[in-house]
Amino acid sequence: MNTSVDLDLVCPNGHNVAVALSREEFEDALRSDTLKFHCNTCDTDWTPTGEEIAKFRKLFPHAG
């Protein structure tokens, strides 16, 4: 089962951003060093910090 987790983020300019990712999408983006978020309000891209990545990982259901 490939369940998505909704991440509620705040961009560097203070806008609320909602992102839905599956564990696979999240881990694939980390492995390929392409994990970036985008704010449509201010057209800003940013990379999460190590602390944020650790927090996001805890949100995903543990695999069997």
Total structural domains in the chain? 1
Residue 32's pLDDT is 96
Evaluate whether residue 45 is within a structural domain.
yes
Evaluate whether residue 64 is within a structural domain.
no
Evaluate whether residue 36 is within a structural domain.
yes
Residue 1's pLDDT is 53
7 in Cβ contact with 36 (< 8 Å): no
Q: How far is CA 63 from CA 1, 14, 17, 57, in A?
A: 9, 33, 27, 12
* Domain, as residue range, for 30: 4-59
Evaluate whether residue 21 is within a structural domain.
yes
pLDDT digits (tens, 9 = 90+) for 7-64: 999 999 999 999 999 999 999 999 999 999 999 999 999 999 999 999 998 988 775 4
Give the residue among 17, 18, 22 at the shortest CA–CA distance from 5.
22
**CB-facing half-sphere around the CA of 59: CA atoms within 13 A:** 18
Residue 2's pLDDT is 63
Q: For residue 27, with 0-12 CB atoms within 10 Å meaning exposed, 13-18 middle and 19 or more buried, which class applies?
A: middle
Evaluate whether residue 17 is within a structural domain.
yes
Asked if pLDDT for residue 6 goes beyond 80, the answer is: yes
Evaluate whether residue 8 is within a structural domain.
yes
Residue 63's pLDDT is 54
